[in-house]
Amino acid sequence: MRESPHSRNGAPRNSKASSVALPHPEEEWRGHLAEGRLMIQRSATTGAYVFYPRVLAPDTGLEDLQWVEAAGEGVIHAMTIVRRKPPEPDYNVVLVDLQEGVRLMSRVVDCPNEALAIGQKVKARIDDLEGQKILVFVPA
């Protein structure tokens, strides 16, 4: 397979710009969370939204992914409740379909686990867990 003469950032591979280390997409995503922003990627060419953060657009392989702010509104696609031995509390794990069309895994907080349902509308919130920002959802 022939390698592209251009790097991920579009600069020729033999230029000084190509020697600059770019942050990994997951690091960029976590950086946005640390700033209190829910960002996902979108292909400039096709307009398709992408999550999990990556370097190349799925299906096309294009290097045109840009960060855009997500509305943060979604619907529970699937869920489970993880039962733990007392005194540890049970917790939920959900797959949420964002209105932009991407699906991600998280938890729903501020709601009893038994009150959750597939198809339920939820809203994104960025919480702090042991000094690290995490994405969770609350009932909409």
CATH number for position 87: 2.40.50.840
- The answer on 87 and 62 residing in a single domain is no
- The answer on 86 and 38 residing in a single domain is no
Q: 61: pLDDT confidence band, cut at 50, 70 and 90?
A: very high
User: For residue 114, how many C-alpha atoms fall within 13 Å in the half-sphere facing its CB?
Assistant: 0
pLDDT of residue 19: 54
Judge whether 4 lies within some domain. no
- The answer on 135 and 78 residing in a single domain is yes
Mind listing the pLDDT tens digit for each residue in 65-122? 999 999 999 999 999 999 999 999 999 999 999 999 999 999 999 999 999 999 999 9
Count of domains observed in the chain: 2
- The answer on 79 and 60 residing in a single domain is no
Beta-carbon contacts of residue 75 (< 8 Å; ≥ 6 apart):
96, 97, 119, 120, 121, 122
- The answer on 39 and 79 residing in a single domain is no
Residue range(s) defining the domain that contains residue 119: 73-139
pTM of the predicted structure, to 2 decimals: 0.81
- Residue 110's CB is within 10 A of a number of other CB atoms, namely 10
CA distance 43 to 65: 5
Strands 132-139, 65-69: pairing kind: unpaired
- The answer on 35 and 92 residing in a single domain is no
**DSSP category for residue 108:** B
- The answer on 78 and 56 residing in a single domain is no
- The answer on 86 and 59 residing in a single domain is no
Judge whether 27 lies within some domain. yes
- The answer on 27 and 56 residing in a single domain is yes
